[in-house]
Amino acid sequence: MTTSPLNDLAARLEAAEALDGPAEAIGRTVRGAIPEGAPKDALSGTWLGHALHPLLTDVPIGTWTSSILLDWIGGRDSRAAADRLLLTGILAAGAVVATGWSDWADAEARDPRVRRSGLVHAAANATATVLMAGSYASRKRGARGRGKLLSLAGSAALGCGGWLGGHLSYTLGAGVDASAPAAGTQAAATRVPEPVSTPVS
């Protein structure tokens, strides 16, 4: 079977133990910040029957892609629509980030490959959001050309993050639980207990 050369890149990323320190610290912080019960269930998508994060990612991906298309083929009359779409994606990013961190924080405690890949996935998407926000700010200052270029750069970062997101879900199985539809829950909603240190006597 033919394999993608990107598999080698993913394997090197999964083996990057240098990422474990910051990733584990972030994972503990996220797990400690999200209360059990309704808040955790809402972010995990328990009420939906599967993870909420993949569904929400369609909003910034769709609006930012549409904005870029209008930038380059929509003409002058589409400028306002392109800017509104860009802003919509920026505003939606908060919910996408919250659900993504929630899912990853539980999965990273079980699998170091998910821990490392997920951290880079989040960094790529954060970069995309910052670039898109810079694009919007440039447009409001009248620097539309710069704004269009920043959107293209943001789209490239978003593509990298999307590839890693697919790798996390379809290759590593992060957040996937075959019993989830019947139970109305999903793997990411399962809280992983923090390790308890035993005093040395």
Return d(Cα 67, Cα 58) in angstroms, integer.
Answer: 14
Q: Is the pLDDT of residue 191 over 80?
A: no
By the 8 A CB rule, do 187 and 180 touch? Answer: yes
Burial letters for 120-144: b for 16+ Cβ neighbours within 10 Å, e otherwise? bbbebbebbbebbbbbbebbeeeeb
Predicted local distance difference test score (pLDDT) of residue 79: 98
Q: Is the pTM of this model over 0.75?
A: yes
The DSSP code for 5 is T
pLDDT above 70 for 159: yes
pLDDT confidence tier of residue 174, bands split at 50, 70 and 90:
confident
pLDDT, tens digit, 9 for 90 and up, residues 125-147: 999 999 999 999 999 999 999 99
Mean per-residue pLDDT of the chain: 89
> Using 50, 70 and 90 to split pLDDT, how confident is the model at 2?
low
Confidence of residue 80 (pLDDT cuts 50, 70, 90): very high
Which phi-psi region, left, alpha or beta, contains residue 196 (left: φ > 0; alpha: ψ -120 to 50)?
A: beta
CA angle 16, 17, 21 (to 5 degrees): 125
**Long-range contact set of residues 43-48: C-beta below 8 Å, sequence gap at least 24:** 43/98, 43/99, 43/102, 43/103, 44/99, 44/102, 44/103, 44/185, 44/186, 44/188, 44/189, 45/99, 45/186, 45/188, 45/189, 46/184, 46/185, 46/186, 46/189
Tokens of 123: 């960094």
Q: What is the pLDDT of residues 8-38, one digit of tens each?
A: 999 999 999 999 999 999 999 999 999 999 9
Kindly indicate the confidence band of residue 179, based on its pLDDT and cuts at 50, 70 and 90.
Answer: very low
pLDDT, residue 144, reads 97
